[in-house]
Amino acid sequence: MWHRVPVASERDTASRDYRVRALGALLGAAGRLEHLLGQAIEDEFGISHTMYEVLLHLEWDGPSSMRLLGRKRVLTTGGVTRLVTRMEAAGLVTRAPDPADGRSQIVHMTEKGKDIVERASAMHARNVQRHFFDPVPAEHRKRLVQDLRKISEAADQALPRLR
């Protein structure tokens, strides 16, 4: 599928490298999917895709520290604080001091947050099927997910922790 095209200079060769093009295709697809899927959630439920992902994390793992939420979403401490403040104002989450560490806070999902994540997930699953899985041949889907998970884990390990 990706071909190396003979070119005149080393500079041209590097810019046309199949690896560069492959990553460009992945990032382009991810950006378009993020916009498409995120816009659907925002239009229907009035929350950003990032808020939805925080609600998913809380649904799957239960109450969480602000630090862990920031790590999961690759946000600075200021970024996660602003996000959780907006979510708290919307009635999606509450914060409470961490009994094990008074300097830190634990984020809990509210009933409203649980209702929204449940309803948004049903719609999101349909949209993910339509826009992410349906374009890929059925026999390639499992491998695609496995490979993307490996890439994500490797990148997570290489990523410096934000403060």
pTM check: above 0.85 = no
Torsion of CA 8, 10, 11, 14, to 10 degrees: 110
Work out the end-to-end distance of the chain between its first and last CA atoms, rounded to an integer number of angstroms.
41
C-alpha–C-alpha distance, residues 13 and 33, integer Å: 30
C-alpha–C-alpha distance, residues 70 and 66, integer Å: 6
pLDDT at 67: 85
| Residue 55 CA: distances (Å) to CA of 35, 42, 51, 82, 159 | 18, 14, 6, 15, 23
Helix (H, G, I), strand (E, B) or coil at 96: strand
* Percent with pLDDT over 70 in the chain: 90
C-alpha–C-alpha distance, residues 109 and 104, integer Å: 17
Q: What is the mean pLDDT of residues 124-151?
A: 97
**116 pLDDT above the threshold of 50:** yes
C-alpha–C-alpha distance, residues 15 and 22, integer Å: 12
C-alpha–C-alpha distance, residues 8 and 31, integer Å: 32
Mean of pLDDT over the chain: 89
Record the tokens describing residue 8, joined without a space.
Answer: 């005149």
β 93-98/64-65 pair status:
unpaired
Q: What is the mean pLDDT of residues 155-159?
A: 85
pLDDT at 59: 96
Confidence of residue 2 (pLDDT cuts 50, 70, 90): low
How does pLDDT run across 61-96, given as a tens digit for each residue? Answer: 999 998 888 877 657 778 888 999 999 999 999 999
Q: What is the mean pLDDT of residues 138-152?
A: 96
Strands of the sheet with 64-65, listed across from one edge: 64-65, 101-109, 93-98
**131 pLDDT above the threshold of 90:** yes
Q: 40 burial class (0-12, 13-18, 19+ CB within 10 angstroms)?
A: middle
CATH numbers and ranges of domains, the chain: 47-158 (1.10.10.10)
How does pLDDT run across 10-50, given as a tens digit for each residue? Answer: 566 777 889 999 999 999 999 999 999 999 999 999 999 99
